[in-house]
Structure 1
Amino acid sequence: MVAEAKIVCQQSVPVLEVQYFGKGTNVHEVEDVVAVSQSISPKSFDRNRASESVSDAITSSQADDKPADKIPDLAPESADLQFFPRLRSGSFADIGPRRYMEDEHILIDDLSSHLGSLFNFPTPSALYGVFDGHGGPEAASYVRKNMLRFFFEDADFPQISEVDEIFSEELENSLRKAFHLVDLALADDRSVSSSSGTTALTAMIFGRLLMVANAGDCRAVLCRKGEAINMSQDHRPIYPSERKRVEELGGYFDDGYLNGVLSVTRALGDWDMKFPRGSSSPLIADPEFRQVVLTEDDEFLIIGCDGIWDVMSSQHAVSLVRRGLRRHDDPEQCARDLVMEALRLNTFDNLTVIVVCFSPLDHREPSPQRERRFRCCSLSAEALCSLRSLLDSSASG
């Protein structure tokens, strides 16, 4: 069962009027909500509990994935100074084996066109995000609907047209503030249950800068010349620094779950598990950041919820998408293929994937031409005589 909403791009839309979608996107389009599946409803109580076998698989599945901290930040090679990504993207979402859909996502390939003259963005400019809700869909839905207001109005988004280290630093500060503002707003909004929360991962592209902000266990993976490079770290108990931070603040882990309830150590919302405002809680909304300057070697970015990464490694996903792009060059179909692969591998969760390509539609690696094959045949003496007679008669005629 697929929960989808098709939307249409509106030009020069004020930030406060923008609404964004939960499920499904057409390639090349920035879409707004038209309809949401009526079959999706909040579940009474589910904190993303997984089986122990799946939890064990998570650790081993990341063994072949290269971490993003091995990528030089803001240090492009001179040969790539003229490179700028040509962005196009697609997404796909599926309810999976769950009773209710709690994922949301947002996809904007061109912020300048979408927000009009409100901001002076570097070119290109884009925003992508995946929000994996738990304890009901309210928190994820709230974040998706209101994130542009928090990101571009309330958080003092940097008004700098040149992408440099100053812009990068101000962008990070702005995003950090936005995550905290959203978290506090979830505590105040009466339509959101205090037991509802969501992980959040956003990827922003300005010029050649890719900035990923992550709180939770959604994951962004960059494909560089076919190699998977993790642009985020899963905030789970198996992450040593997260375990240490939680335990120092009085939290504990029971069977791999924070305070025996939640499978992640960072999330927006979940105010029934957080200490009062101003206090340091084991569960926090602080995002971690990773950034990189894109080069011609960078092919695409995958952003997915944990339902994908619970059953496949980052390299598996990159290889699957890369093969798909070589066949049909359609990022939306690649997103669908990833979801179908996760279902085939018996994932237990909702599924949401965004695939962002950095090259134009007609930029595909040339496939080697097939060699022409000739079959050698031998003729009998009688056949040769007949052929010679035929040729002689044709010549004389």
Structure 2
Amino acid sequence: MAPEVLTKEIHTEKSDVYSFGITVNELLTGIVPYTDLRAETQAHTVLEMNYTEQQLTAAVVSEGLRPVLADLQSGAPASLVSLIERCLDKDPQNRPSFDDVVVELDFIREHEVGRGCMEKASGEAFISSNGVDAANFQSYQENISWFSQGKDFLKRVPTALAASTWLDSSDDHIYSPVLSWGSFASCGRRETMEDRHFLMPQLCDEKDIHIFAIFDGHRGSAAAEFSSGALPGLLQNLGSVCSPSDALFEAFIKTDVAFRTQLDSSRKRKGAVQKDWHPGCTAIAALIVRNKLIVANAGDCRTILCRSGIPYPLSRDHVASCLEERERIIRAGGLVKWQVDTWRVGDAALQVTRSIGDDDLKPAVTAEPEITSTTLSAEDEYIVMASDGLWDVVSEKDVVNIIRDTVKEAGMCSKRLATEAAERGSKDNITVIVIFLRPVSTAERIY
């Protein structure tokens, strides 16, 4: 909010101009105002200065505290940064009107279109420098709604929404975490977004059953889209006949089989999909049943649990550089060879050794997930799930340190982690889910 609004003075058009400037700057930097931790020479944030909410208001009004502006490295033209700076002037009279803003933005667009600054700043390729939709740069343009295909698949499966059988009424006295959750996904430096995820708290309307998952697509987003549509329903259907761990395991397997069947069916329809197209995705899912946390992983997404300030890994990466996984691939009849910079699987040169889809590499590249089970307690603070776009450049310890220094709101923490990964040079799509396991006080949120 503008300084005059914080001091309860008259709200004018210039107050909205201030908010516009804040919003555009956040789009350019990818950083929620006052939650960033940059180099000390740039630092001027709530977290570093230990501001309370009241002190923050005073600093904005009296000391001229403002978010760190976008720099030229972000791709933002100097003229746009200058406009933002004037929008954030303390004196409303010195801010431009919206008519002036529109005129300046038209000028910037006409003179800066070749730089593609908005594409770089937002992390998504909206328009390429020559005005062509970036999706057209893909070697193959998917024209099927694979998410809908995944959802529709369940209509052909007998429905038995019985995950509630996992709850034992005799366990009512045991510890049960109080959850809050949020996520953030960014295309990053890629031209297309192939990650998908879902957040499904209170599965089957049961307050103590929750499922969260991330799917990191490769060779297109089809497998990730299909899986995000199919897996939740499959898991619910298996609840009546399987334990939570077994249900999660079987849901991965059945999702893989269903996707490959649907892909094969599409190949038989002339022109539906290319015959030599073999999309796949890695997958990680976290199922919480009262005080039990079950994590299923196939691929190189990762989940950690922060317990008393210490990160504990709940999954391991399934990649060809792992000797155990290489040997498993070879025993299953697959080919593993050193290509370019690391061990890779088959002619597709896939780095991961477990996935949904990738039908040209089956059965060696299996969809069978590894399962871990953890009993949650009052010492457990939060769970972080993310695609490898985060873990490639941010360590588990760094994740804990970043959340420690971020306002304790799950969506904000997710965005902060994704932003940090982008700033550190991640070259992949980035998806982050943060799940707090206990109530967070106002004081904890601020500091």
Note whether the superposition's TM-score is higher than 0.5. Answer: yes
Partner residue, 1:292: 374
Aligned partners of 2:445 and 2:417: how far apart in 1?
24
Q: CA deviation at 1:367?
A: 9.6
Q: Which residue of 2 aligns with 1:271?
A: 359
Q: Quick one: percent identity of the two aligned structures?
A: 32
Compute the displacement of 1:363 (Å). 7.2
TM-score (norm 2): 0.57
The verdict on how the C-alpha distance between 1:258 and 1:227 changes in structure 2, with shifts beyond 3 A counting, is same
Measure how far apart 1:147 and its partner are. Answer: 1.7
Aligned partner of 1:306 among 381, 388, 404? 388
One-letter code of the match for 2:437? F
Extract unaligned runs of 5+ from structure 2. 1-26, 29-123, 127-132, 141-172, 267-271
More deviation, 247-256/351-360: 247-256
Q: Does the Cα contact within 8 Å between 1:41 and 1:137 map onto a contact in 2?
A: no
Residues 83 and 363 of structure 1: CA distance in aligned 2, closer, same or farther (over 3 Å): farther
Matched, 1:95 2:187: yes
Aligned to 2:200: 108
Which 10-residue stretch deviates more, 185-194 or 94-103?
185-194
Q: 2:424 aligns with which of 321, 330, 345?
A: 345
1:205 aligns with 2:297: no
Q: Which amino acid aligns with 2:399?
A: A
- 2:249 counterpart residue number: 176
- Residues 38-71 of structure 1: CA deviation (Å, up to 9, x unaligned): 87848337xxxxxxxxxxxxxxxxxxxxxxxxxx
Could you tell me whether the CA contact under 8 Å between 1:158 and 1:174 is conserved in 2? no
Q: From the superposition, tell whether residues 134 and 208 of structure 1 become closer, same or farther in structure 2 (CA, over 3 Å).
A: same
CA positional deviation for 1:240:
2.8
Whole-Å Cα distance in 2 between the matches of residues 313 and 186 of structure 1? 33
Using the alignment, how far apart are the partners of 1:207 and 1:128 within structure 2?
A: 14
Residues 114-263 of structure 1: matches in 2 within 5 Å? 121=206, 123-153=207-237, 156-158=238-240, 170-189=243-262, 190=266, 194-250=277-333, 251-255=335-339, 256-259=343-346, 261-263=349-351
Contact preservation (8 Å) 1:40, 1:101: no
- Find out whether 1:331 has 2:331 as its counterpart: no
Show the counterpart of 2:84.
none
Distance in 2 (alpha carbons) for counterparts of 1:363 and 1:237: 45
Report the equivalent of 2:177.
Answer: 85
SS of structure 1 residue aligned to 2:393 = coil
Distance, in Å, in 1 between the alignment partners of 2:188 and 2:446 is 35
Aligned to 1:78: none
The separation in 2 between residues aligned to 1:233 and 1:297, in whole angstroms, is 23
Contact 1:44–1:136, Cα closer than 8 Å, also in 2:
no
Displacement, 1:349? 0.2
Aligned with 1:335: secondary structure? helix
User: Equivalents in 1 of 2:273, 2:399: separation in Å?
Assistant: 34
In the superposition, the TM-score normalised over structure 1's length comes to: 0.64
Structure 1 residue ranges without an equivalent (≥5): 3-35, 46-80, 114-120, 160-168, 275-280, 369-397
Please state how far the C-alpha of 1:93 moved relative to its aligned partner. 0.5
Over 3 Å counting, the alpha-carbon distance change for 1:364 and 1:266 in structure 2 is: farther
What CA RMSD, in Å, does the superposition of the two structures yield over aligned residues? 2.6
Letter in 2 for 1:111: L
- What letter is aligned with 2:188? G
Aligned residues: 272
Structure number, greater radius of gyration: 1
The letter of the residue matching 2:280 is G
Deviation at 1:285, TM superposition (A): 0.3
Please state whether the residue corresponding to 1:272 is helix, strand or coil: helix
The Cα of 1:304 is off from its aligned counterpart by 0.1
* In 2, Cα distance between equivalents of 1:316 and 1:93: 19
Cα distance in 2 between the residues matched to 1:344 and 1:207: 37
- Structure with the larger helix share: 2
How has the CA–CA distance of structure 1 residues 304 and 184 changed in structure 2, closer, same or farther, with 3 Å as cutoff? same
Amino acid at match of 2:427: F
Query: Which of structures 1 and 2 has the larger relative contact order (alpha carbons within 8 angstroms, sep 6+)?
Result: 1
CA distance in 1, matches of 2:392, 2:134: 23
